[in-house]
Structure 1
Amino acid sequence: MAKHQNESDLLNTYFANGTEVEISSDEDGFRGAWYDGTVMRPIFKKQRKNNEDDEGGDSKIRVLVEYKTLMADKKGKKPLKETMSLVQLRPKPPPERRRKFKVSEEVDANYNDGWWEGVVMEVLSDGRYSVFFRGTRDQLEFEESQIRTHREWANGEWKPSFEEGGEDEEKLVSPETKLNNKAAEEFSVGSLVEVSSDEEGFEGAWFAATVVKLFDNGNYLIEYKNLRNNDDTEFLQEETDRLHVRPPPPDIGPFKSFKVLEEVDALHNDGWWVGVISKVLKGQRYKVYFKANNEELEFKHADIRLHLDWINGKWVRASQCRRRRDVKDRPRIKWGGLNLASALEIGGKLMTMVDEGLGE
Structure 2
Amino acid sequence: MTSRLPEPKPIFTPGSAVEVSPDEPGFQGSFYLGTVISHHSSSSDSYLVEYKTLVTESSHPLREEVGFSQLRPPPPPEAKWVFGMGDEVDVFHNDGWWQAVVTADFGNGSFEVFFAGYKEQMEFPKKKMRLHRDWVGGIWVPQVEEDEQEQKLQMGMQINGSKETVEEKFIKGAFVEVSSDEDGFEGAWFGATIVESIGKDKFLVEYQSLRTEDEKDFLMEEIDILHIRPCPPDTVSVGGFKLLEEVDCLYNDGWWVGVVSKVLGDSRYIVYFKDTKEEMEFDRSEMRLHQEWIDGKWAVASQV
**TM-score normalised by length of structure 2:** 0.45
**Greater relative CO, 1 or 2 (CA 8 Å, sep 6+):** 1
**TM-score normalised by length of structure 1:** 0.38
Larger relative strand fraction: 2
